[in-house]
Structure 1
Amino acid sequence: MDLETLSAPLEIKFATDADLGEFEGYGSFFGNVDSHGDAVAAGAFRQTLEDRAHKGLPPVPMHFNHGIPEMGGERAVGVWKTMAEDTKGLHVRGRISGMNTDKGRHYFERVKDGAISGLSIGYRIAPNGATFGKSAREPRRLLKSVHLHEVSIVDEPSNALARVEAVKLADRGDLESLLRKSGLSKAAARQIVAGGWAALSGEVEPSEDPVLRDLVKALDRNLLDLKGLNR
């Protein structure tokens, strides 16, 4: 059976107090139906994770676009430090390799800019590891047990929920630059970096600007960690 993939867009939150090149998030969310009609059940990755831990192996590899040359992919662009199931899905934490090289910095900048917009799992379904939906209200397939081969950073995601939750920036300047690109004035971006939304002191009303409103919603969902409070 050929290797199958299931992917999801990135939704990034930023921390200013961590090592450059590191990020974390979800390679897959349980129960979410992707654009192909597939959904992953809790426990689907358990056997792979347990087998690798029992053998003393690290988590599965990190590729770009599943390492497929025809998709511009490349193998082993980073390493996953931790990988585990929780109540949401498959949580991963990793680092882009070679941050002292042009290639490593290039990959990380693409993650920051959103050019690389998702995470994607490469897997094969275990024997009797999937059930098929019997009605239009059910997923086409419910994946209950899969052999996980790799988790890629990708530029063409298909799943609407799984995300990278934290991209660790080198300094406050990186965060300020990103906020400027999102539509904030230079003064507002500097104030947010220094003290969060409260530091704006009425200069900007986020509810009146859709870009700022989306940023506020992300903050409210704790997807953005501008002050590193969750670290």
Structure 2
Amino acid sequence: MTQDLPIQGHASLFWTRDLNDDVAAAGAFAASLARTGPAGVKMLHQHDDAEPVGVWDEIAEDATGLYVRGRVLRTTPRGRLVAALVEAGALDGLSIGFRAVKARPDGTGRLRVLTQVELWEVSIVTFPMLPGARLKSR
């Protein structure tokens, strides 16, 4: 099988603490996405920028968080591996690579609230920093 594998899910969930004590505010990705669109955000495997594994066709903020829809390309060995692992259910995490442009502490001082980020990439990962950031089952 050589066709692309369609995938979708939420790479970030608004107002949900990740394992690094970061929380993304609604609207945090808007300026970055307006500047680059989905074409400016790379699809990687485990944040490895040496071998992109696909393309994001749609990235948008919705009521839940950062929604992504794209295709894993089977034209490279890493793409074939990722597609096979996703299809088998062995790989379903999503994780974002970004730079914090604006952030503030929350009311408790324990969490960092990301209010504006520059989004570089969304990776398909084994263990996402935000445990709820997952591919949706088709």
Bin the TM-score by the shorter chain: 0.7 to 0.9
Between Structure 1 and Structure 2, how many residues are aligned?
136
Calculate the TM-score normalised by the size of structure 1: 0.54
Corresponding residue to 2:130 among 152, 156, 159: 159
Q: What aligned pairs does 1:172-191 form with structure 2 within 5 A after superposition?
A: none
Tell me which structure has the larger Cα radius of gyration.
Answer: 1
**1:223 corresponds to:** none
Give runs of ≥4 in structure 1 deviating > 6 Å: none
Q: Secondary structure at the match of 2:86?
A: helix
Aligned: 1:123 with 2:104 = no
Task: Tell me if structure 2 keeps the 8 A contact 1:66–1:75.
Answer: no
Calculate the TM-score normalised by the size of structure 2: 0.87
- Normalized per residue, the structure richer in strand is 2
Q: Secondary structure at the match of 1:67?
A: coil
Task: Tell me if structure 2 keeps the 8 A contact 1:65–1:153.
Answer: yes
Q: What aligned pairs does 1:54-65 form with structure 2 within 5 A after superposition?
A: 58-65=39-46
Q: Report the Cα offset of residue 103 of structure 1.
A: 4.3
Q: Percent identity?
A: 38
Q: Secondary structure at the match of 1:158?
A: coil
Mind listing any 5+ residue stretches in structure 1 that lack a counterpart? 1-18, 69-73, 168-231
Task: Tell me if structure 1 keeps the 8 A contact 2:45–2:82.
Answer: no
Q: What aligned pairs does 1:1-231 form with structure 2 within 5 A after superposition?
A: 21-53=5-37, 58-67=39-48, 74-98=50-74, 103-126=78-101, 129-135=102-108, 140-167=111-138
The CA RMSD measured in Å over matched residues stands at 2.1
Q: Report the Cα offset of residue 104 of structure 1.
A: 3.1
Q: Report the Cα offset of residue 98 of structure 1.
A: 2.1
